[in-house]
Amino acid sequence: MVEREERYIASISAKLGAYFLLGLGAVISLMPLYWLIMTSLRPAGAEFTYPPEWIPSSFHPENYGIAWNRAPFWLFTFNSILVTFLATFGTILTASMAAYAFARIPFYGRQVWFALTLSTMMLPWAVTLIPRFLLFKYMGLFDSLWPLFLPFWFGGGAFYIFLIRQFIMTLPVEMEEAAVVDGASRLRIYFMITMPLTKPAVAAVGVFSFIHHWNDFMSPLIFTNREETRTLALGLRYFGDEQFTEFRLIMAVATLMLVPVLVVFFAANKYFVSGVALSGLAGR
Amino acid sequence: MADAFPLGVSSPEPTGKPRWSRKVKADNIAGYLFLAPWIIGLLAFTVGPMLASGILSLTKFSGFGAIKWVGFENYDKIFQDKLFYTSLYNTSYYAFLGVPAQLLVALCLAVLLNMKVRNVNLFRTVYYIPTVTPTVANVFLWVWIFNFDFGLINSLLRLVGVAPVNWLWDPQIVKPALILMSLWAVGQQMVIFLAALQGVSEELLEAASMDGANNIRRFFSITIPLISPVIFLNLIIGIISLFQTFTVALIATDGGPINSSLFYVLYIYRKGFQSFAMGYASGLAWILFLIILVITAIQFYLARRWVYYESGSAPS
């Protein structure tokens, strides 16, 4: 009896300890976000106080309107949406085509190309930065949105190809084999049979790509210049530089910029985590 | 990388004389057509630019006007450039301390999230949120957290009676501060670890318990060796990516104070896009490429001693 009771208490306290640790981690993860949103609602001049005010003395949602009108944020948003969608669409289409070839079509030199593809993941992008800049400049595309999405219509990146390829490898081949026997073309098999089955992997790639391009700071910084071609990430940065005294306005725009990311993340959370997990199997 | 030919068709590897049957020919055409965008992209946006930056590094070029061939002059200058060594030191410091710290935190979080308690999926989502926050917003937020007078950390320190620290404006502290900041967004590594932890066989762990091993012993003797390939993967990716840290340093400190957070890629950016010394910057970039190559090669070499592969194969 006593032993059983002891064990019961031990398991309860282990559970409590587990929840305590999990909760602590959650607080640390969410605290800065809480501060972000609270700061965006503070009255003017009350961004910096000591000691920190956990709940603002008064709430000012009008900060959002004020901030939004300080710079052409509608334009920046439009640019961000355009780039994100075009880049993501190109990535999904061309990465899954390459992935299908690597997973299913026995062509000559496949292993070599696949090894080459994987090895590009280890190339530092900084090395290609300057020539890329010059390439776009000579193509007359500097300071346009083209450099921000065009490269992603060419395979999207080794990581995405690898991720979808790994997923296709786990799918049964019977249906495709039957289609091959029936004389269906590769293109037809890919679009009609394989592509629909790879939805989870494609969704993961879509979410990764969406978040990457929406948040991307480096490429717009290098490849664009005028205000007309700015994306949200870059707009926020310049806004921050000029108006650093008005922290609440910066935080308001940052909060608005975060909303689509969180919506996509929560909607596709399942795919997101499984996608990273799939990529983690690379090391095995 | 064991590649089966899942469609069960004849292998395309030529045995003696290649039999270019219609099927094989059609497969080859289809394969390369499907791969065409990627191959073109690889040549146009990766291989081509790589070679181009190698050639550019032997020239003097402002991005406008004429290109002047100067041979190895840029490299001579780089090796006498004090800021080159400063930025290399800063970057190595950041990467070699930052990556182990990140992996440790990510692994601890993954172990937490691998516990068998209810609603653990909710926590998984929450822990990942910092990783999807836009870097720009992230950095602004942390600039406040590190603020000397009003920042969160110093407020807490004052509360417990510790002298406040000048996090971002003390040359001695700024790099540890930036590492601390990077620990907040280790979701990627965390989820990769979590997937690996879930692949550790229950039977093996149970067998060890039967033999009297406690939790800690089981973790270090069974779990760690079993997930060592994934630790290795995270280590490789982490070093490569931290060696290219850019955005954080640009926005939070702009390389300061007195160049103590001038990271290598920030220096490339300044030389290439602010001083318009594109040849010089390309030379810097190629040196970075070689450094990363050597570090990665050393890591693969060392991996033989500590990475455990169940199948006994070498890391691929």
CA distance A223 to A144: 7
> Which range has highest mean pLDDT (A40-54, A270-284, B115-129, B280-294)?
B280-294
**Do A77 and A189 belong together in one domain?**
yes
- Is the pLDDT at A209 greater than 50? The verdict is yes
Average the pLDDT over A27-34 and give the result. 86
**Do B176 and B52 belong together in one domain?**
no
What are A86's two structure tokens?
A: 């075009």
Cis peptide upstream of residue A51 (ω within 30 degrees of 0): yes
The full length of chain B comes to 316
**Do B108 and B40 belong together in one domain?**
no
**Do B188 and B237 belong together in one domain?**
yes
**Do A158 and A23 belong together in one domain?**
no
Is residue A232 packed enough to be buried (19+ CB in 10 Å), middle (13-18) or exposed (0-12)? Answer: buried
> Roughly what angle, to the nearest 10 degrees, separates helices B120-132 and B187-198?
150
Whole-number mean pLDDT of chain A?
Answer: 84
Residue B35 C-beta-side C-alpha neighbours within 13 Å? 28
User: Would you state the torsion angle of the CA atoms of residues B260, B264, B270, B272, taken in this order, to the nearest 10 degrees?
Assistant: 170
Interface of B with A in 180-209 (CB under 8 A): 184, 188, 191-196, 199
Helix (H, G, I), strand (E, B) or coil at B243: coil
* CA-wise closest residue to B76 among B275, B280, B288, B269: B280
- The residues, any chain, with a CB within 8 Å of residue A92's CB and separated by 6 or more, are A156, A202, A205, A206, A209
- Percent of chain B clearing pLDDT 90 (strictly above): 24
Interface of A with B in 118-157 (CB under 8 A): 120-135, 137, 151, 153-155
**Do A31 and A99 belong together in one domain?**
no
**Do A114 and A92 belong together in one domain?**
yes
Average the pLDDT over B35-42 and give the result. 93
CATH number at residue B287: 1.10.3720.10
Whether B114 is in a domain gets the answer yes
- Is the pLDDT at B87 greater than 90? The verdict is yes
Q: Among the listed ranges A40-49, A67-76, A198-207, which one has the minimum average pLDDT value?
A: A40-49
**Do A91 and A144 belong together in one domain?**
yes
Average the pLDDT over A175-185 and give the result. 80
Helix (H, G, I), strand (E, B) or coil at A184: coil
Output B99 or A14, whichever has higher pLDDT. B99
Band of the pLDDT at A3, cuts 50, 70, 90? low
Q: Which residues in B lie closer than 8 A to residue A236 (C-beta atoms)? A: 134, 136-137, 140
CA distance B85 to A204: 40
CA distance A209 to A203: 10
**Do B221 and B91 belong together in one domain?**
yes
Instruction: Count interface pairs A-B at CB distance under 8 A.
Output: 306
Q: With an 8 Å Cβ cutoff, are A122 and B147 in contact?
A: no
**Do A233 and A117 belong together in one domain?**
yes
- Is the pLDDT at B8 greater than 80? The verdict is no
CA distance A162 to A95: 9
Q: Which residues in A lie closer than 8 A to residue B288 (C-beta atoms)? A: 124, 126-127
**Do B50 and B161 belong together in one domain?**
no
Q: Which residues in A lie closer than 8 A to residue B117 (C-beta atoms)? A: 15, 18-19, 22
Q: Which residues in A lie closer than 8 A to residue B41 (C-beta atoms)? A: 94, 151, 153-155
Whether B4 is in a domain gets the answer no
Distance of residue A170 Cα from the nearest chain B Cα, in angstroms = 10
Band of the pLDDT at A69, cuts 50, 70, 90? confident
Whether B122 is in a domain gets the answer yes
Query: Tens of pLDDT along B111-139?
Result: 888 888 787 878 888 888 888 888 888 88
Residue A63 C-beta-side C-alpha neighbours within 13 Å? 26
- Is the pLDDT at A2 greater than 80? The verdict is no
Whole-number mean pLDDT of chain B?
Answer: 84
A218 contact B CB<8A: yes
Instruction: Indicate the number of domains in chain B.
Output: 2
> Residue A129 to residues A123, A125, A157, B49, B281: CA-CA distances in angstroms?
12, 6, 15, 8, 10
**Do B91 and B39 belong together in one domain?**
no
Per the structure, the complete domain to which residue A10 belongs is given by: 2-64
Distance of residue A2 Cα from the nearest chain B Cα, in angstroms = 22
Q: Among the listed ranges A16-20, B96-100, B286-290, which one has the minimum average pLDDT value?
A: A16-20
> What does the DSSP assignment read for A228-240?
GG--HHHHHHHHH
Query: Tens of pLDDT along B205-237?
Result: 888 888 877 888 888 888 888 888 888 888 988
**Do A25 and A108 belong together in one domain?**
no
**Do B51 and B89 belong together in one domain?**
no
What pLDDT is attached to residue A84? 95
What pLDDT is attached to residue B291? 93
**Do A138 and A41 belong together in one domain?**
no
Phi-psi group of A254: left, alpha or beta (phi > 0 → left; psi -120 to 50 → alpha; rest → beta): alpha
What pLDDT is attached to residue A241? 63
- The residues, any chain, with a CB within 8 Å of residue A22's CB and separated by 6 or more, are B112, B113, B115, B117, B120, B123
- Is the pLDDT at A200 greater than 60? The verdict is yes
Residue in chain B lying closest to A165 (CA): B3
Instruction: Indicate the number of domains in chain A.
Output: 2
Distance of residue B171 Cα from the nearest chain A Cα, in angstroms = 22
**Do B113 and B235 belong together in one domain?**
yes
CA distance B57 to B278: 8
**Do A154 and A273 belong together in one domain?**
yes
Q: What angle do CA B269, B62, B136 make, to 5 degrees?
A: 20
Q: In chain B, how long is the greatest CA-to-CA distance?
A: 82
Interface of B with A in 143-182 (CB under 8 A): 144-145, 147, 149-150, 152, 155, 159
Average the pLDDT over A213-237 and give the result. 87
Q: Which helix (H) or strand (E) holds B21?
A: none
- Is the pLDDT at B27 greater than 60? The verdict is yes
Output A116 or A275, whichever has higher pLDDT. A116
Query: Tens of pLDDT along A91-126?
Result: 999 999 999 999 988 899 999 999 999 888 888 888
- Is the pLDDT at A140 greater than 90? The verdict is no
**Do B30 and B137 belong together in one domain?**
no
- Is the pLDDT at A273 greater than 70? The verdict is no
**Do A153 and A78 belong together in one domain?**
yes
Last residue of a domain, one of B56, B82, B102: B56
Whether B67 is in a domain gets the answer no
What are B240's two structure tokens?
A: 């490569």
- Is the pLDDT at A258 greater than 70? The verdict is yes
What pLDDT is attached to residue A102? 93
Among the partner-chain residues A25, A266, A277, the one whose CB lies closest to the CB of B191 is A277
Query: Tens of pLDDT along B140-194?
Result: 888 888 888 778 888 888 888 888 888 888 888 889 999 998 898 888 888 888 8
Query: Tens of pLDDT along B57-66?
Result: 998 888 788 8
> Roughly what angle, to the nearest 10 degrees, separates helices B135-145 and A232-242?
30
Residue B212 C-beta-side C-alpha neighbours within 13 Å? 0
Q: Which residues in B lie closer than 8 A to residue A277 (C-beta atoms)? A: 191-192, 194-195
Last residue of a domain, one of A23, A39, A64: A64
**Do A59 and A90 belong together in one domain?**
no
What pLDDT is attached to residue A245? 63
* CA-wise closest residue to B231 among A121, A282, A165: A282
The answer to whether B251 touches A237, Cβ cutoff 8 Å, is: yes
Q: What angle do CA B295, B296, B302 make, to 5 degrees?
A: 90
**Do B274 and B210 belong together in one domain?**
yes
The answer to whether A194 touches A100, Cβ cutoff 8 Å, is: yes
**Do B38 and B159 belong together in one domain?**
no
Output B13 or A207, whichever has higher pLDDT. A207
- Is the pLDDT at A283 greater than 50? The verdict is no
Whether B94 is in a domain gets the answer yes
**Do A160 and A242 belong together in one domain?**
yes
A94 contact B CB<8A: yes
Per the structure, the complete domain to which residue B297 belongs is given by: 74-306
Buried b (16+ CB within 10 A) or exposed e, A33-52: bebbebbbbbeeeebbeeeb
CA distance B280 to B282: 5
- Percent of chain B clearing pLDDT 70 (strictly above): 91
**Do B182 and B51 belong together in one domain?**
no
Band of the pLDDT at A87, cuts 50, 70, 90? very high
Band of the pLDDT at B9, cuts 50, 70, 90? very low
